[in-house]
Structure 1
Amino acid sequence: MSNTTPRILIVGGGYAGFYTAWKLEKHLRRGEAQVTIVDPLPYMTYQPFLPEVAAGSIEARHSVVSLRRHLKRTRVVTAKITGIDHANKVATVTPTLGEPWQEEYDQIVVTAGAVSRTFPIPGIADNAIGLKTIEEAVAIRDKLFSNFDKAATLPPGPERERLLTVVVVGGGFAGIEVFAELRSIASALLKKYPELSFEETHFHLVEAMGRIMPEVSLETSKWVMKSLGERGGAVHLDTQVTGAVGGNVELSTGEVIPSDLIVWTAGVMANPTVVRGSDLPVEERGRIRTRADLRVGSEDEIVEGAWAAGDVAAVPDLTGGGVGGYCVPNAQHAVRQAKLMAKNITAVLRGELPVEYVHKNLGAVAGLGLYNGVFQSGKLALKGFIAWLAHRGYHGLAMPSWERKWRVIWGWWNNLWLGRDIVNLSTVQHPRYVFEEFAARPKPPAASAVPAKEPAGTKS
């Protein structure tokens, strides 16, 4: 490959980053450009599956996509981008081991995604867990299963019920789905724990607004609340968490909920490491200012050689349906933006004009635990089992590559006949605990003998 070959640097290997690289491999002729993708993780996480991973319905490894396996002609670098100097078209790559280096590029694609947005509430940073990564979903699952094991050995009482109490903060899609999935698996687990009763399990969802799931109609959201209530889930509207210290979740209403598992899903923000470390323009909400054709810039100004998409980018919603005039940060937009961006980058490299991104939301679909779901598209609303089938059908087909689709669908098929796997692997976080407990260690060296001092005044 010659030194004049355009170098495309993709920052972030999530939805938008992976799909951009994947589609560039299809659109670009061999040798037409050199594509590099940089991400701290060697895989893309299919985030809509995280609630089902937390509930044991999907194997964790099946809900991620290996970058190296599926990006055949892309250079994959497992590291962080800690600085972007677009004026000189160079980015700082910081690996886990070794020294940082400067990566030169001709075109940069910023798709660093988003992270959980929290507030300085006492105890949240130390005791809550988010739901943005596969590791967090696995930890939630193992924590719940482990708490059932611990509770089964305790006598009935406050400590037992604290272990069996889950608090989810945030009533958007992610919060509702993980709340419903955890309630579903907890009810199923009770069949395996005759020592425990349904009345000892408590599930609370805390939402600061006056309703849940703003993506669906008010009538549909009320149906979801009713469905959750019928299955033992308590929803607290117009309520905020004010503290989470000492195993107690304090609410703005004055109520205190003893809980050992707090899941935080109350909002996201653009990846601050990438945004703050770059010289690209940023809008008031901390996202990279992006044009409708996915080039960085404004309607009147273009930052040549810079592109952005997904949760890190403020992309204008030309359909008029976005919040504040911008596309909402979800997978539906990220995937479609990435596919168009790959076409636009290819077009620009060939001297053609890029196309503006226009996509009207097709609707919203959510799983509410096993065999229950909700689907909304315009005025059409489906509820219950048929919506659950629509949820699994949509996401099963949306999973990238047939290899990944088959693994997920095969897992669902097995669960239909064999039931969900409830093995608790929390100790995988400390894999050497047994080895360390019984490993032989060298004895400390014996203290060297110190000769006794002669009494004063004696002579040999």
Structure 2
Amino acid sequence: MPKRIVIAGGGYVGLYTALRLRQRLREGEAEVVVVSPDNFMTYRPLLPEVASGTLEPRHAVVPLRAVLRGTRFVSGKVVSADREGKTVVVRPAAGPVWELDYDELVIGMGAVAKLAPVPGLAENGIGFNSLAEGVHLRDHVLRQLEIASATPDPELRRCALTFVFVGGGYTGVEAIAELQDMATDVLAGYPELEAADMRWILVEALDRILTTVSDDLADLAADELTRRGIDIRTGTRLDSAEEGVLALSDGTKLSASTLVWVAGTRPRSVVAELGLPVDDGGRLVVDAAMRVERAEHVWAAGDCAAVPDPERDGVCPPTAQHAVRQGEQLADNLVAVVRGGRPSPFRYRSKGEFITLGKNKAVAEVFGRKLAGSLAWAARRGYYATQIPTWNRKVRVLGDWLVGMPFGHDVVDFGSREAPRGAFEEAARKPARSSTQG
């Protein structure tokens, strides 16, 4: 009877582990089951360009059912695991929970935003980790421009045009850079507004932004952002976000309609509830081959696992490059175990770093060489066009980029999609008029 490999999570680890297993397993050797609440994987390096409107949202995702043909896909969440009985409990989108047996279990559930105990943050902030958040922020920024251009109230205008991003890592820098570039580009359509009316503020608690890249690369990015008028506040924290007023630790108080929280991530809470060993950051403790400690037949990788990194003498950073290679190595290890062999330790040296800063703007470090401007931007796009899975997606992404190159950003705000039943609800609130038929 073939063994069953259950993969919990459909992100980078889930997708690339399943893809590699499909390539390497012989027919009838093992059944692969992917359990994920979403039937797509978001290709997160492209999320900033979704937010700025230079890429169609549906082109930045990989449909799991279409890509993983021959692999069983289950729409649901793994909510608990029984290591003794080698079963997991699956909660589907509707209906009762049910159990699924496994011979080998892979946990690749990723991470979510790590919220700090800041008053008002949960009520007024938004993250930048999902497709929905990226699309919402694009519409939100355009909506603030519309509000500011239409109001005679200077306080409301100032509030609408103040955009605060907390967190100066990859996500925060790319998000603020792309959205500020978009907003500046579309201002020609708002004659009532000037670029100087907008305030873009990047808040970082550490002494510099982009602490996971080299000092030189971080300085290049900071210089570009500062040149464009983005206010970078290092060594600063958000202390409060109540009633639309943001209080910073440097004493500044801002009235702002936009608060984007990108100050780190944490593993999903279910990871800690599985009864497996975790470190101080809530990540699963694994050995060099990505086997969970003190848990036979359980493996983990990606943002929810502390995978040792001999190159850094620590743990692997939470980057797409590492997650993809971990998924592929994990699949090779599973094939070895299924065939009675031994797994191999994970080793990977990053090929480089790319940071998008808007249209035709980026910084990069490729094999030790620093790049900036259009060259870095082109190199980044070339790299990710080759990395996104399937030729279907490669062509769609390249098509978006090529078509959009000669044109500016679109100013259409589809915010109404957040309330698709708005017309029905408005009609329901109005008293029905009586009518007579003749």
Check whether TM > 0.5: yes
Matched, 1:293 2:269: no
Which amino acid in 2 is paired with 1:397? Answer: T
Which amino acid in 2 is paired with 1:84? Answer: A
Matched, 1:413 2:402: yes
Q: Is the 8 A contact 1:79 1:96 kept in 2?
A: yes
Matched, 1:250 2:247: yes
Q: Deviations over 1:392-434 (max 9, x none)?
A: 1111211111111111110011111343333211110110112
Matched, 1:231 2:252: no
Q: Deviations over 1:77-135 (max 9, x none)?
A: 11111111122111111112101111111110000001111111011111111111111
Supply the distance in 2 between the matched residues of 1:220 and 1:329 (Cα, whole angstroms): 18
Query: Which of 317, 335, 353 is the aligned partner of 1:328?
Result: 317
Q: Deviations over 1:47-104 (max 9, x none)?
A: 1111111111111111011111111011111111111112211111111210111111
Query: Which of 133, 138, 154 is the aligned partner of 1:136?
Result: 133
Which stretch of structure 1 is more off in the superposition, 356-365 or 417-426?
417-426
Q: CA deviation at 1:372?
A: 0.8
1:111 alignment counterpart: 108
Matched, 1:98 2:95: yes
Q: Secondary structure at the match of 2:180?
A: helix
Query: Which of 411, 416, 424 is the aligned partner of 1:427?
Result: 416
Query: Which of 300, 307, 322 is the aligned partner of 1:315?
Result: 307
Q: Is the 8 A contact 1:169 1:264 kept in 2?
A: yes
Please say which structure displays the higher CA radius of gyration: 1
Structure 1 residues 47-126: aligned runs within 5 Å: 47-126=44-123
Q: CA deviation at 1:214?
A: 1.5
Q: Is the 8 A contact 1:290 1:307 kept in 2?
A: yes
Supply the distance in 1 between the matched residues of 2:376 and 2:35 (Cα, whole angstroms): 37
2:436 alignment counterpart: none
Query: Which of 317, 326, 337 is the aligned partner of 1:337?
Result: 326
Supply the distance in 1 between the matched residues of 2:280 and 2:209 (Cα, whole angstroms): 26
Q: Deviations over 1:122-169 (max 9, x none)?
A: 111111111111111111111111111222111261211211111111
Q: Is the 8 A contact 1:84 1:91 kept in 2?
A: yes
Q: CA deviation at 1:441?
A: 8.4
Supply the distance in 2 between the matched residues of 1:306 and 1:95 (Cα, whole angstroms): 22
Q: Is the 8 A contact 1:86 1:280 kept in 2?
A: no
Q: Secondary structure at the match of 1:292?
A: coil
1:29 alignment counterpart: 26
Q: Secondary structure at the match of 2:188?
A: helix
1:450 alignment counterpart: none
1:374 alignment counterpart: 363
Query: Which of 184, 192, 197 is the aligned partner of 2:194?
Result: 197
Q: CA deviation at 1:379?
A: 4.5
Query: Which of 346, 351, 354 is the aligned partner of 1:357?
Result: 346
Q: Is the 8 A contact 1:215 1:364 kept in 2?
A: no
Which amino acid in 1 is paired with 2:285? Answer: R
Q: 1:176 to 1:442 in 2, by over 3 A?
A: closer
Q: Is the 8 A contact 1:363 1:375 kept in 2?
A: yes
In structure 2, stretches of 5+ residues that fail to align are: 434-438
2:173 alignment counterpart: 176
Q: Secondary structure at the match of 2:231?
A: strand
Query: Which of 267, 277, 283 is the aligned partner of 2:279?
Result: 283
Q: CA deviation at 1:240?
A: 0.2
Supply the distance in 2 between the matched residues of 1:358 and 1:330 (Cα, whole angstroms): 14
Supply the distance in 2 between the matched residues of 1:331 and 1:226 (Cα, whole angstroms): 25
Supply the distance in 1 between the matched residues of 2:418 and 2:209 (Cα, whole angstroms): 34
Q: Is the 8 A contact 1:20 1:338 kept in 2?
A: yes
Supply the distance in 1 between the matched residues of 2:66 and 2:237 (Cα, whole angstroms): 43
RMSD: 1.8
Q: 1:255 to 1:36 in 2, by over 3 A?
A: same
1:304 alignment counterpart: 296
In structure 1, stretches of 5+ residues that fail to align are: 445-460
Q: Secondary structure at the match of 1:142?
A: helix
Q: CA deviation at 1:378?
A: 6.2
Supply the distance in 2 between the matched residues of 1:22 and 1:341 (Cα, whole angstroms): 11
Q: Is the 8 A contact 1:86 1:279 kept in 2?
A: no
Q: Deviations over 1:169-215 (max 9, x none)?
A: 11111111111101100101101111111111110000000101113
Q: 1:248 to 1:378 in 2, by over 3 A?
A: farther
TM-score, normalisation: structure 1: 0.91
Structure 1 residues 252-271: aligned runs within 5 Å: 252-271=249-268
Q: 1:378 to 1:240 in 2, by over 3 A?
A: farther
Supply the distance in 1 between the matched residues of 2:185 and 2:361 (Cα, whole angstroms): 14
Which stretch of structure 1 is more off in the superposition, 202-211 or 422-431?
422-431
Supply the distance in 1 between the matched residues of 2:303 and 2:423 (Cα, whole angstroms): 42
Q: 1:265 to 1:440 in 2, by over 3 A?
A: closer
Q: Secondary structure at the match of 1:294?
A: coil
Matched, 1:347 2:339: no
Q: 1:140 to 1:441 in 2, by over 3 A?
A: closer
Supply the distance in 2 between the matched residues of 1:219 and 1:342 (Cα, whole angstroms): 36
Which amino acid in 2 is paired with 1:201? Answer: M
Moved over 4 A (4+): 439-444
Supply the distance in 2 between the matched residues of 1:128 and 1:171 (Cα, whole angstroms): 16
1:455 alignment counterpart: none
